[in-house]
Amino acid sequence: MNSKNYSILMSIGLLGGLIKLWREISMISTVEQNWGKLFSPAGILAMFVYILLFLVGLFLLVMGLWRVETLNRAALKSNQTGWLLLTVVILIPIYVYLYSAWQNILSFPWTHFMFALGFAQVTLFLVGQNRHNGLDGANLLLH
């Protein structure tokens, strides 16, 4: 399969996953929650950083499917800086899933799957040397 067909196929799959994710997120408002606790300053900060990490990962995933050369040029060349940033990035989902008020809400399977895809791309961007087009075997091992 050539690179363009592979990118189209993976983009369609990613779009399907985002549709499933949207259906899960829309169900959050139907469940009774303690909204005061969720929208406390700590809750808002945790969700903001979580969503930011998710969007960066999604952006890197899409760019990896269509413009992998751009990501290889922009990737961190310093391995020490990448590992330091990765340590900070790993603490974000640890806090959100273990200690924040949002841990019960973010328990849907497609939410976990799409975040894991994006998180693996952020990890690969920070400490990976060169990436190939799309999700090859080395990228799938991160997932």
What would the two tokens of residue 132 be?
């190939």
pLDDT digits (tens, 9 = 90+) for 3-37: 677 667 777 877 888 888 788 777 777 767 777 77
What would the two tokens of residue 26 be?
């829309």
Distance of alpha carbon 67 from alpha carbon 94, whole angstroms: 30
| pLDDT at residue 52, rounded to an integer | 92
| pLDDT at residue 16, rounded to an integer | 81
Distance of alpha carbon 142 from alpha carbon 139, whole angstroms: 5
- pLDDT means per 10 residues, the chain with 143 residues, are 67 80 76 77 88 87 71 65 84 87 80 84 75 52 49
Answering whether pTM is above 0.85, one says: no
Phi, psi of 130 (to 5 degrees): -135, 140
